[in-house]
Amino acid sequence: MLNYVWLSLMAIAIVAGAINGKLPEVTKAAFDMAETSVSIAFGLIGIMALWLGILKIAEESGLNTLLAKVIRPVSKRLFPEIPADHPAMASILLNLSANWLGLSNAATPFGLKAMEDLQTLNQDKEEASDAMVVFMGLNTAAITFIPATIIGVRLSLGSAAPQAIIATTIVAGLCATTTAIIVAKLLQRLPGFKRRQSGIDSGIEGGKKS
Amino acid sequence: MSETLSMVAGVISNLAIPLVMLLIVGYGFFKKVKVYEAFVEGAKGGFEVAIKIIPFLVAILVAIGMFRASGAMDFLIALISPATDLIGLPAEALPVAIMRPLSGSGSLGLVTEIMKTHGPDSFIGRLVSTMYGSTETTFYVLAVYFGSVGIKKTRHAVPTGLLADAAGLIGALVICKLVF
Same domain, A18 and A67: no
* Cβ–Cβ < 8 Å for A64, A54: no
Q: Are residues A33 and A91 in the same domain?
A: no
Domain shared by A171 and A106, yes or no: yes
Residues B68 and B137 in one domain: yes
Domain identity same for B50 and B39: no
pLDDT score for B105: 86
Query: Do A4 and A94 fall within a single domain?
Result: no
- Greater model confidence, A173 or B13: A173
Same domain for A110 and A8:
no
Give the pLDDT score at A149.
85
pLDDT above 50 for A206: no
Decide if A180 and B161 are in contact by the 8 Å CB cutoff.
Answer: yes
What's the pLDDT score for residue A144? Answer: 86
Q: Total domain count for chain B?
A: 2
Is there a single domain that holds both residue A109 and residue A199?
yes
Residue A203: pLDDT over 50: no
B12 touches chain A (CB under 8 A): yes
Q: Is residue A77 assigned to a domain?
A: yes
Residue B41 confidence (pLDDT) above 80: yes
A168 vs A164: CA distance, rounded Å? 8
| Rounded CA separation B116/B118 (Å) | 6
Query: Model ipTM?
Result: 0.88
CB B167 within 8 A of CB A178: yes
| Cβ-nearest to A49 among B47, B148, B153 | B47
More confident residue, B69 or B2: B69
Range of the domain at A166: 62-207
Q: From the list A61, A163, A171, which residue is nearest B175 (CB)?
A: A171
User: Which pLDDT belongs to residue B1?
Assistant: 52
The pLDDT assigned to B53 comes to 92
Query: How many beta-carbon pairs under 8 angstroms link A with B?
Result: 391
Q: Does B158 touch chain A (CB under 8 A)?
A: yes
Lowest-pLDDT range of B8-12, B31-35, B78-82, B107-111: B8-12
Q: How far is B92 from chain A (nearest CA, A)?
A: 17
A96 and A154: one domain?
yes
- Mark whether A203 and A100 lie in a shared domain: yes
Residues A31 and A129 in one domain: no
In this predicted structure, which of A41-55, A112-126, A192-206 has the lowest mean pLDDT?
A192-206
Instruction: Report the number of distinct structural domains present in chain A.
Output: 2
**Boundaries of domain holding B10:** 1-43
Same domain, yes or no: A19 and A67: no
* Chain segment B82-128, per-residue pLDDT in tens: 989 999 999 999 999 999 998 888 899 999 999 999 999 999 999 99
> Are B60 and B101 found together in one domain?
yes
Q: What is the mean pLDDT of residues A175-179?
A: 95
> Residue B153: which of A41, A127, A171 has the nearest Cβ?
A127
pLDDT tens readout for residues B54-75: 999 999 999 999 999 999 988 8
Question: What would the pLDDT profile of A131-155 be if each residue is shown by its tens digit?
Answer: 999 999 999 987 888 888 898 899 9
Together in a domain, A9 and A92: no
Q: What is residue A202's predicted lDDT score, i.e. its pLDDT?
A: 43
Tell which B residues from 77 to 116 touch A, by Cβ distance under 8 Å: 101, 108, 111-112, 115-116
Q: Do B9 and A172 touch (CB under 8 A)?
A: no
| Same-domain check for residues B62 and B124 | yes
> Same structural domain for residues A83 and A32?
no
Q: Is residue B29 classed exposed, middle or buried when 0-12, 13-18 and 19+ CB atoms within 10 A define those classes?
A: middle
Q: B35 and B61 share a domain?
A: no
- State the pLDDT confidence band at A204, using cuts at 50, 70 and 90: very low
Q: Is residue A79 part of a domain?
A: yes
pLDDT tens, position by position, A9-28: 999 999 999 999 999 999 99
Subunit contact A106:B17, Cβ cutoff 8 A = yes
**Residue A168 at interface with chain B, using a CB cutoff of 8 Å:** yes
Mean pLDDT of chain B: 90
Higher-confidence position of B10 and A105: A105
Whether residue B69 sits in one domain with residue B32 = no
Mean pLDDT of chain A: 88
pLDDT attached to residue A199: 45
